[in-house]
A and B are shown apart, each in its own frame.
Chain A
Amino acid sequence: QVRLVVPVAVVFSPGSVPGDLPRPLPFRDVQEMEIPVNVRSSVTSCYEMRYRSTTAQEEAALAAATAREADAALHPLQDSTLGSLTMYVLPETSSLLPQGTNVYVGKHRSALLRAGGSVATLQARLREVAQLMSFTASAVAAALSDRVPDGRLSPDTRRSLKSSLGYEITFSLLNPDPKSHTVDWDIEGAVNRYVKPVLDKLSLVANFSVDSQILYYAVLGVTPRYDKESSSFLLSAHSLPHVINPVEARLGSSAASLYPVLNFLLYVPERSHSPLYIQDKDGAPVSTNAFHSPRWGGIMVYNVEAPASPQASLPLHVDVDMARVMEVFLAQLRLLFGLSREEVPPEFLLESPGNEGLADWELDHLLWAHTVENIATVSTTLTSLAQLLDKIGNIVIKDDVASEVYRAVASVQSAVTKLSLGHLHAAFQASKEAVTSSERAFFDPSLLHLLYFPDDQKFAIYIPLFLPMAVPILLSLAKIVRESRLRRKEPTKMD
C-alpha cells in the first residue's frame, strides 16, 4: 500500500540525445517497481521521469571546465526540494567527466552522466543512479526488517541506527596514563567547527545533543601484543570486540534523556604500550587506527610520538590534532547511520561532501529509510494495541490515549499520501508525528494488562468465597420448596 514516488528530471544537453528515443522531447514517463517485503505486503517504488532538453543557462553552466564547477553552477538552476533528483545527460565524448568515469554524482541532488549510446543503456544507467541517490530495494527491506520473514535477511543487515526522534553524542577522551601524558583536546572548538555543520545538516532527521568528558585511568580490556618487526604494539581484529566492555561501565549517560547514545572514544595509549596500531583481518595496520560498533559508536587510537630524547620530563604535553580526529569520528558517524560509499560501482565518481559531512542525496537516503521505517513501526504498534484491547475486554482507554491514537492514525495516513505525491519532507514530518503519538499511546502506563482482571481470575477469587456460603443457602432453599409442596398437598388431607 505504500508508494514511494521520486520526481526525477532528466535533462539532455545538445548532442547527447540518443537516436532511438521513443518520443520527441519533452515527455514524461513513470517507472514502477515492486519491492516485495513479505508474503502479504510490498512497497512500490515509482520514479516519475520528466525528460527535457537543456535551457540556455544550463548549457552555459555545463560549459565549465570540471564536473565540480558545472555542478556548482547548475545547483541554483535545479529543483532542489527534498527527494527530487536531476540528471544531466552529456554526450559520449564530453570532456567534463574524466576518462573512465561514466557518472558523476554531485553534492546536492544532481548527477552528470554520459549518454551511453542507446536508449537501453541510458535507461539502465539512469535507473542505477536514481536508486543510488534515493533508495535501493535492499535499503527498503532493511528498514522494514521487522516484517521480513527471518532467514531472508542475514542477521547483519539491520545494523544502522534505528529511526529515533533524537540522538545523544558523547565524545570521551581516555587517558590511561596521566603520569606520562597530559592530553589537551580542544573539543569545544572542534565541535563548533567540524561537528556542528554536520549536525545542522542532520537536524532535519533528528535532534542531536553533544557532550564530552575525559576519563583517567581507563584501560582497554585487552593487552596488546608487541610486534618486533614494526617495534610497535598491535591489537588484532578478533580481540577488538572485548576492548569496549570495561570502558563502557564508566562511560555513563545522561539520566534525563531516553534517546540512543552514540559514544566516540579517543584513546591515548600508555607510554609503555606506545605506539599502538589496530590490525585488520589480514594483519595489516589500519590507516585510520579506528574501529566502530553498530548502534554503539566508535573508538580511535591516537598515538603520541615518542619524545626525541629519552630524558624528556614526564608528563609530556600532548595537543590533540582535532581535525584528524574529527575526520575519523564523523566518518564513523556516517557509517553508524548507514551512509556508506563502499558499494559504488567503479565508473561512478562521487563528489566529496566536504565539511557538511553528507551530500543532499545522502540526507534524502536517510529520510526515505526513516520514513518507511516510521510508517511500518506505527502500523505495527497500532495493530498490536488493537489486539491488546481485543484480548482484555474491560480495559479503560483514557481520553488522552484515545486522542493520541486518532492523531497517530491521521498522521500515518497523511504520511502515506504525501509519499505517493513525492513530498518527502512533509511525509517525513508526518511520520515522525505518527511515531511520537503511537508510542505515547502504546506505552501509556494505564494500559498494563495486569490491572484488568481476566475473567478466569475473577472466578478463581470469588468462587472459593461464595461457594461454601452458598451451600447452606441452596440446601435451605431446597428444603423450603419441599415443605411448601407438602403443605399444598396437606390441606386436602386435613379437616
Chain B
Amino acid sequence: FQDQAEQFFRSGHTNNWAVLVCTSRFWFNYRHVANTLSVYRSVKRLGIPDSHIVLMLADDMACNPRNPKPATVFSHKNMELNVYGDDVEVDYRSYEVTVENFLRVLTGRIPPSTPRSKRLLSDDRSNILIYMTGHGGNGFLKFQDSEEITNVELADAFEQMWQKRRYNELLFIIDTCQGASMYERFYSPNIMALASSQVGEDSLSHQPDLGIGVHLMDRYTFYVLEFLEEIHPASQTNMNDLFQVCPKSLCVSTPGHRTDLFQRDPQNVLITDFFGSVRKVEITTETLSLDRDVAAVESKFPEEEVATEPLKYAEQLPVAQIIHQKPKQKDWHPPGGFILGLWALIIMVFFKTYGIKHMKHVF
C-alpha cells in the first residue's frame, strides 16, 4: 500500500530536458551569461546530459576582447568558479538567439536541416526546465536589444507544446526585472513558474568584481545556486524550499511563484524532478531463452551500402517541394500608394489652411 501511495506522489516522467536562455548582448551584461552558465553547470552536475540541454547564449563573454581573463566566465567574486570550463556545449550562440529560434525550439517547428543537438526532442513523459534571464519589463523580455518576446507569445508557445504533449511537467524560472509579469498569462496545465521580482520591481545584481570590471551575477540566481549546491542526485528536497530562497532581505526584490496550474502539491515535487535526471528503473527478472546453435543470418548491411549509387546534389534537395511552394509570406507593409496618398493629403490640407497662394509655387 505504501508503494502505491509513493507512486501517486511521484512524477510520471521518464526523462529530463533543460532549455537555458540568456537574452542579453554586450559586455556589461556579463552577469546574465554567468547566470545561465551557472544554472547549466548545476543541471549537468545533477545528471542531465548535454544531449538533453539546449543552451542559448546571446553573447560570448569568454572570448570577448574586453575579458581580462580570456576563456573564462566567473560567477563569483575572487574568481572561485569558472563556469565556462572545458566541456560547455552552446547550442545557439550569438545572433542565433532570437525570439523566432527560441519559439521554434519550444514548439518544434524547426527546419529539417537543424541538427539533433539544436532540437528539443521531448515527449509526453519529459519534465522540462526553462530558465530565462536578461532585461525585461512588464509583460515582455528583451532579446539582444533588438526584439522582444511578450508574455502572451510565451503562453501561446507553451499551449502549443501542451497540445502536442511535448512535456509532462514544466518548470519556468525567470530572472529579470518585473519577471512575474512573464508568467501571468500562462494557461496550459502542469506549469510551475518562479520569478525573481514582482511587477513594478527591479531585479538587482549581486556584486561587481573589480578585476573584471562588471557585475558577475544577479542576486536571485546567486542564491538559487547556493541552494542548488546542497542538492545531490539522491536528495529529497522539495519545491517549497526553492520558493523560500532569496527572501526580500537578501534579494531586495520579492521573488514570486505560480503553482495554480500545477497538478501536484509543490510539497511533493522534488528538486531533482526538474534539475536532475533521476531515472525510474526496474529490475529485469525475465530472460528470453535463445537457441545457441542457430546459424548466423547473412549480414545484409554492408552489401546494401555498397550497392547504392552516389547521390547527386540535386537529388538531395526536395526539388518538388521547392518548385511548388508559394513564395514566403513577407512581413506586412502598408501598400506604397497609401503612404504617398497620406502625404498628398497632408500637403493639400496644409495649403488649404494657410492659403492657396503657396500652391502657386508648386504648380
A interface with B by C-beta (< 8 Å)? 145-146, 150, 154-156, 158-159, 162, 188-189, 192-194, 196-197, 200, 221, 237, 239-242, 244-246, 248-249, 251-258, 260, 278, 280, 286-288, 290-296, 298, 300, 323, 326-328, 330-332, 334-335, 340-342, 352-355, 357, 380-381, 384, 387-388, 396, 398-400, 442-454, 458, 469, 472-473, 476-477, 479-480
Contact partners of A451 in chain B: CB under 8 A = 100, 329
Q: When each residue 89-104 of chain B gets 1 if its CB lies under 8 Å from chain A and 0 otherwise, what string results?
A: 0000000000110011
B286 within 8 A of A: yes
B307 within 8 A of A: no
Do A480 and B352 form a contact, CB below 8 Å, given A288-B284, A340-B286, A449-B160? yes
* Contact present for A291 and B287 (CB under 8 Å): no
Contact partners of B296 in chain A: CB under 8 A = 189, 192-193
Do A328 and B160 form a contact, CB below 8 Å, given A188-B299, A193-B297, A476-B349? no
* Contact present for B297 and A450 (CB under 8 Å): no
* Contact present for A330 and B325 (CB under 8 Å): no
Contact partners of A196 in chain B: CB under 8 A = 297
* Contact present for B14 and A293 (CB under 8 Å): yes
B51 within 8 A of A: yes
Minimum CB distance partner of B50 in chain A: A249
**Closest Cβ–Cβ distance, residue A450 to chain B (whole Å):** 5
Partner of B7, one of A155, A256, A298: A155
**Closest Cβ–Cβ distance, residue B36 to chain A (whole Å):** 19
**Closest Cβ–Cβ distance, residue B322 to chain A (whole Å):** 10
Of the candidates B115, B282, B297, the one having the most CB atoms from chain A within 10 angstroms of its own CB is B282
B291 within 8 A of A: yes
**Closest Cβ–Cβ distance, residue A221 to chain B (whole Å):** 8
CB-based closest 10 A-B pairs: A155-B12, A245-B47, A384-B163, A249-B49, A290-B284, A293-B279, A476-B349, A192-B296, A295-B14, A240-B281
* 325-356 of chain B: CB within 8 A of chain A: 325-326, 328-329, 332, 342, 345-346, 349-350, 352-353
Contact partners of B345 in chain A: CB under 8 A = 473
Q: Give Cα A159–Cα B263 distance, bound, in whole angstroms.
A: 20
Q: Give Cα A469–Cα B353 distance, bound, in whole angstroms.
A: 16
Segment of B71-79, B105-113, B245-253 engaged in the interface with chain A: B105-113
Total contacts A-B at CB 8 Å: 221
* Contact present for A193 and B324 (CB under 8 Å): no
Of the candidates A251, A260, A326, A398, the one having the most CB atoms from chain B within 10 angstroms of its own CB is A398
* Contact present for A399 and B326 (CB under 8 Å): yes
* Contact present for B286 and A341 (CB under 8 Å): yes
* Contact present for A380 and B163 (CB under 8 Å): yes
Contact partners of B233 in chain A: CB under 8 A = 221, 242, 245
Partner of B14, one of A159, A287, A449: A159
Minimum CB distance partner of B11 in chain A: A155
Partner of A156, one of B12, B321, B353: B12
**Closest Cβ–Cβ distance, residue B74 to chain A (whole Å):** 24
**Closest Cβ–Cβ distance, residue A422 to chain B (whole Å):** 30
Q: Give Cα A298–Cα B279 distance, bound, in whole angstroms.
A: 12
* Contact present for B12 and A296 (CB under 8 Å): no
Of the candidates A245, A246, A255, A280, the one having the most CB atoms from chain B within 10 angstroms of its own CB is A245
Besides the contacts A253-B116, A258-B119, A295-B14, what 17 more A-B pairs have beta carbons closer than 8 Å? Answer: A221-B233, A240-B281, A242-B234, A248-B49, A260-B123, A290-B284, A291-B283, A292-B282, A294-B282, A323-B292, A355-B291, A384-B164, A445-B104, A445-B109, A448-B109, A472-B346, A480-B353
Minimum CB distance partner of B190 in chain A: A150
Do A335 and B286 form a contact, CB below 8 Å, given A296-B279, A445-B110, A446-B328? yes
B153 within 8 A of A: yes
* 9-38 of chain B: CB within 8 A of chain A: 10-12, 14-15
